[in-house]
Chain A
């Protein structure tokens, strides 16, 4: 983790402490609200397990769409839980306290985004091999799918955070959130799903991983800045 350059002695340490405290706080809240914790995972499981019923139980047919199905479900599961990121904090005033902290907002927002990923993204990554098995994904593609999800789902949390930060002050958000977040997230979906499909055909996939990694690096550095600015506007 990069520490901010600062002239004050001790500021680095207190920034790190504020980062850890915010991460821990969000995880504790999530663990105490079992519903929010289970919702994205259940959604992911249900959507993926409905596909064989809707399309066909035929292994050949299913294995063709399996990569896309798992990726689309992961994207939707991540979006479903995005609202938890700032909504409660906005309503009870904790968000104002966060914005008034002398610590750099970048790290506090990053901590919240990492907490969101640990709650909604990581379980999806862990469960994905099981679902891939259900959908007859060829075994040589398992690792590629897990790895692309591992790189891709944090991006979904980071980009999604910008959308929620922009809309958290609005009374009725409806589809606005999806309209903001989806254009940012679809490249990840396209590259991630394509990597899994390509490996099934024995094609090289190095460039897909390079692109995903580049997007993750971009999201890690830029998205929390954008979220911070959006939050300041939303509480104004």
Chain B
């Protein structure tokens, strides 16, 4: 994935201009920056939710807008609002999420939930789960999705120490298997895969 000369302003304040970003298979890109520096906006632009920008984004060499379906089929985005319905159970939530991409059988859903430490919580309504557990339900989607590009906005918030370790090993596995990840976090990443960082604050200071 390539982004060229991205420019975005919000409320008459320039968030970034002339931003170039390349994401290759087999690497993790961490977007850093202080609160309000435009991390979330950048991720939403990259995943196609936000159209309010100038510049070009290419996916596998072609313009993003011309192959939305292909891009959506190989990308998964988990944002601040994690997309977990509070009335449904984790199992029902995952079943629906999967069906939007590629339906999977129940075995894989249970296995994904178990991997994230939600064994025995499969059939409890999500409103009875804690914030960290809800985050884990959302992260389980990564395991049942065929997507090669993961775009994650603050995936570590609300996770406990064990959860953070668990997620770090998930990220490493995905990248080492040839996937790509773009994420934002304030947390010092401890991953065993190629990774680099893009700091929006130092970019702005340099400009």
Chain A residues with CB under 8 Å of chain B are 14, 17-18, 20-22, 25, 28-29, 32-33, 88-89, 91-94, 96-103, 108, 232, 235-236
Contact-residue bracket for chain B? 20 to 34
Given the known interface contacts A32-B87, A33-B87, A236-B50, the answer about A101 and B100 at a Cβ–Cβ threshold of 8 Å is yes
Please measure, in the bound complex, the distance between the C-alpha atom of A232 and the C-alpha atom of B48, giving whole angstroms: 10
Please measure, in the bound complex, the distance between the C-alpha atom of A25 and the C-alpha atom of B83, giving whole angstroms: 13
Q: Does B50 lie within 8 Å of A98, measured CB to CB?
A: no
Give chain A nearest CB distance to B161 CB in angstroms. 25
Please measure, in the bound complex, the distance between the C-alpha atom of A60 and the C-alpha atom of B72, giving whole angstroms: 61
Total A-B Cβ pairs within 8 A: 82
Give chain A nearest CB distance to B123 CB in angstroms. 13
Which residues of chain B are near A100, meaning CB under 8 Å?
A: 47-49, 72, 75-77, 100
Please measure, in the bound complex, the distance between the C-alpha atom of A21 and the C-alpha atom of B49, giving whole angstroms: 23
Query: Which residue of chain A is the closest to B141 with respect to CB atoms?
Result: A97
Give chain A nearest CB distance to B170 CB in angstroms. 19
A92's contact among B50, B85, B100, B125, by CB below 8 Å, is which?
B85
B83's contact among A22, A28, A97, A103, by CB below 8 Å, is which?
A97
Q: Which of B84-101 contact A (CB under 8 A)?
A: 84-88, 92, 95-97, 99-101
Which residues of chain A are near B82, meaning CB under 8 Å?
A: 92-93
Give chain B nearest CB distance to A10 CB in angstroms. 10
A97's contact among B50, B80, B92, B100, by CB below 8 Å, is which?
B100
Residue B12 at the chain A interface, CB threshold 8 Å: no
Shortest Cβ-Cβ A-B pairs, 3 listed: A93-B81, A21-B99, A93-B83
Which residues of chain A are near B87, meaning CB under 8 Å?
A: 29, 32-33
Which residues of chain B are near A108, meaning CB under 8 Å?
A: 100
List 20 additional A-B contacts (Cβ < 8 Å) besides A17-B103, A236-B52.
Answer: A18-B99, A21-B99, A21-B103, A25-B85, A25-B92, A25-B96, A29-B87, A88-B85, A91-B81, A93-B82, A93-B83, A93-B84, A94-B83, A94-B85, A96-B49, A96-B79, A97-B97, A100-B49, A100-B100, A102-B69
